[in-house]
Structure 1
Amino acid sequence: MTPTARLLATFDLFCAVDGDKRPVDAVTSGWFRNRRDIPDQDRGDILERLYALLRHRARLTWWLDKHGRDHSPRHQFLAWLALMERKSPEDVSRLFGGPKNAATALTKPEYNLVLRLKGCTIEHPDMPEAVRLECPSWAEQSLRARFGGAFAAEMAATLTPPPVDLRVNPVKATRQDMLQALSDLKLHAEVSPLAPHGIRVSGRFNYARFPALKSGAVEIQDEGSQLVALLVDAQPGDRVVDFCAGAGGKTLAIAAQMNNKGRIIACDVSEGRLKRCSERLRNAGMHNTETRLLASETDKWVKRHKLGFDRVLVDAPCSGTGTWRRNPDTRWRDPEENGLQNLIALQGRILASAARLVKPGGRLVYATCSMLTEENEDQVTAFLAANPAFRLVPLGDVTPDLAAKAQGDTLSLTPARHDTDGFFAAVLQRETTPE
């Protein structure tokens, strides 16, 4: 593809993402499926530019407001071309007005917008800090309270592209073998700083070039997510529930911990997610698993199996603030249609219901990919106050090595401090049988 064709393809994809409520990765997958003629290198360039554009959205719309323009995808893209691609008004006119281009030629007001932005940079001294750091209003107060003086550094870290982290499936491969396989592909890879089965790959990574991903020998999984699964500390022969399993990333890691012995049940309220989970478990060679579709967090299945499990993981639905560098579109979507407070209430109900499954001496792990205190520490405090049969297990009692690096009795990871997604996890142990 020519540079012009790549830019116009990015514009087309950006419009598709903007008009779709699905996660951006789902939209891009479908978009590329309908354009199989686009070479891999060009796909990488288009995606890289799209994600960079999404990470600058607040600053682009600030400039549009300054010049009295609406926030349409077209206007955002024009601002991007002027401010980040450093295109002149004449260049932009040729880009949109070429005889073979599907994009409509610039109108006079659009040309004037690009003209006014000529010579400007993406940031401006008059920008509020939250705009410069791309922090949405619905999360700003909570994140400022959480991070204090480190707020700017933490938010800046969410604007950097994430690394590619892999988790080796020890049932099928060793980490050393996978490091060698990546080296054979001329990829720079090294062991993850914290996760015992993790590998971090530098540079652009073409998944299709690595057969181990298709065979289930490795999975793409952020190091923080790997560490949450590690805290479950499931042993061979245990009975385990992954209560909000989704597509099964943590279920896979837990099943591997158990060396395919014992039983792990992956639960979710989405049939589609559980279907994907089942496929991944089969591909990875995990035979100690089953899936269970729940009608809600209080499904009757929970009551029938109370006190029946050694380990229960609640990877609760959350605002996703910890995944902003990986999913930059989510910061501009209200975390739930009914607001953050209703999401927090749902987390509390899920945690209380899942706790019924834990047997005396068993452990309940509560986790989110959020950096908001309301979804993390506050949830644990409220749960322990309402459930005196449980106590918090300090992180050092579960994994001393990780505790020394993460600091604190709970796991609290952030992009700035740990170069992982933002994750929280607390380990809670049932000490007595409920009356």
Structure 2
Amino acid sequence: MTPSARLGASIDLLTAMEAAPRKPADAVANSFFRERRYIGGGDRRAVSGMVWEIMRAWRRLGWWLTKCGADITPRALAATNLVLKGWPAREIADLFAEGRFAPGALTYAEQDVVTALAGGTLDNADMPRAVRLELPDWLLPRLEETFGETLEAELSALSEPATLDLRVNILRTNRRDAQNALGREGLHAVLTPLSPWGLRLNGRLPVTSTTPFKDGRIEIQDEGSQLVAAIMGVTPEMRVLDYCAGAGGKTLALAMMMENKGHIAACDVSEARLDGAVRRLRRAGVHNVERHLLQAGDKWAKRRAKSFDRVLVDAPCSGTGTWRRNPDARLRMTEQDLEELLVKQSEILDRASSLVKPGGRMVYATCSILRAENASQVEAFLARHSDFQLVPSDSTALPDSLRGTSMFSLTPHQNETDGFFAAVLERKSEADHEPTEL
């Protein structure tokens, strides 16, 4: 594709995202490229790169357009992004060319914006703090509460493109051999500093087309997500429940830690997600997992009350910890969405806790950086359940910096991972627990 055609495709993709405001941008992008098979891999990465760059600067670009009295449209956002990156007006006009795949010439209004902003910069001292930090106004106070003076550094790291992290499946290989296998296919990975199973690549690379991925030696999984599995401290003889298993990313890691022994139940409310897990389990060579679809009126959980050694609750959350990968989520989430999630998380914790046996442990985890979804949820749960307590993880898979912790919060700024939270909650033995007096 020509540079002009790539720009045209990026504007078309932004338009498609604008038409589906509640749908995640990556899902829209996947559909967009499936319908345009003529766009090759290199062009897809270039177009996606342009679009994600604009999404990371959405509020600031919109602020400049409003200041210029212009409408906030995909074309105007793309032109404004280019001029504030220092592109000369003439080159921008040449990119906005006529032609079959080109975006079409700049309108007079768009030309006026380019002229007005020539020589400018993306950031401006007059911008409100929420605009400068690319946040919804309502979310700023919650993040100030969470991070205080480090907020700007944390959000700056969350605005950077994410690394591509892989988990090596030690049921099939080891880290060094997987690293060498990727290197033979032109992908040069480094060892992750925290996870004992992790490899890291920079940029959007075609990992899924490699032999190590196809034969189950590697999985795509952020290092922080790997550490959530690690803190579980599972061993081969255990009965383990992944209560919100989704497509099975952490289920796979748990099965690997258990050496494909013991028993894992992977549950979810979505049949489609559980079906997606089947392909991953087969590819990884995992066979100690049963799947169960959670439905209203289901007696499955009741029959298994207090029977699991470990329960993982990877709760539905705001996803604020994944903003490096999903910058559109910053502006898509509403305050009502968060309030509804807080209620759902609390309910899920209560239900899942009934499945933990005395002396067993439940790990509550999110990919959120908000205190309300993390430590506050744990505190509220412990206030409701006197038979549970926070305990240090006994997992030897954790790095020295996290070993023996009962609760961790990871962020890109501090740990170079996505934002993740995990807490280890143990059900007291019957002898240790005294019922709360009414």
TM-score, normalising length: structure 2:
0.93
Query: Which residue of structure 2 aligns with residue 316 of structure 1?
Result: 315
- Cα deviation for residue 408 of structure 1 reads 5.7
C-alpha contact 2:361 2:425 (8 A) present in aligned 1: yes
C-alpha contact 2:86 2:119 (8 A) present in aligned 1: no
- Cα deviation for residue 204 of structure 1 reads 4.7
Q: 1:373 to 1:272 in 2, by over 3 A?
A: same
After superposition, the C-alpha distances for 1:357-383 in whole angstroms (9 at most, x for unaligned) are: 001111100000001111000111111
1:418 to 401, 415, 423: 415
**3-state SS in 2 of match to 1:260:** coil
Distance 2:230 2:52 in 1: 30
After superposition, the C-alpha distances for 1:47-94 in whole angstroms (9 at most, x for unaligned) are: 222211111111111111212223232322222232236241x44444
2:33 is aligned with 1:36: no
Q: CA RMSD in A?
A: 2.1
After alignment, is 98-107 or 179-188 more displaced?
98-107
After superposition, the C-alpha distances for 1:4-58 in whole angstroms (9 at most, x for unaligned) are: 1111111111211222232222221221122222222222211222211111111
Query: Which residue of structure 1 aligns with residue 81 of structure 2?
Result: 80
Distance 1:203 1:74 in 2: 26
After alignment, is 112-121 or 68-77 more displaced?
68-77
Query: Which residue of structure 1 aligns with residue 119 of structure 2?
Result: 119
C-alpha contact 2:9 2:101 (8 A) present in aligned 1: no
How many residues of Structure 1 are paired with residues of Structure 2 in the alignment? 431
Distance 1:232 1:218 in 2: 21
Query: Which residue of structure 2 aligns with residue 53 of structure 1?
Result: 54
Q: 1:423 to 1:128 in 2, by over 3 A?
A: same
After superposition, the C-alpha distances for 1:189-210 in whole angstroms (9 at most, x for unaligned) are: 2211111111112355222542
Distance 1:218 1:81 in 2: 37
Unmatched 5+ residue regions in structure 1? none
Query: Which residue of structure 2 aligns with residue 402 of structure 1?
Result: 399
- Cα deviation for residue 103 of structure 1 reads 3.3
C-alpha contact 1:242 1:312 (8 A) present in aligned 2: yes
C-alpha contact 1:135 1:155 (8 A) present in aligned 2: no
2:219 is aligned with 1:222: no
C-alpha contact 1:320 1:335 (8 A) present in aligned 2: no
- Cα deviation for residue 178 of structure 1 reads 0.4
Query: Which residue of structure 1 aligns with residue 257 of structure 2?
Result: 257
- Cα deviation for residue 143 of structure 1 reads 1.0
C-alpha contact 1:187 1:202 (8 A) present in aligned 2: no
Distance 2:379 2:228 in 1: 19
**3-state SS in 2 of match to 1:121:** coil
Percent identity between the two aligned chains: 48
**3-state SS in 1 of match to 2:111:** helix
Query: Which residue of structure 2 aligns with residue 368 of structure 1?
Result: 366
Q: 1:100 to 1:61 in 2, by over 3 A?
A: same
C-alpha contact 1:403 1:409 (8 A) present in aligned 2: no
Query: Which residue of structure 1 aligns with residue 241 of structure 2?
Result: 241
TM-score, normalising length: structure 1:
0.93
**3-state SS in 2 of match to 1:9:** helix
**3-state SS in 2 of match to 1:161:** coil
- Cα deviation for residue 128 of structure 1 reads 2.2
Distance 1:106 1:404 in 2: 54
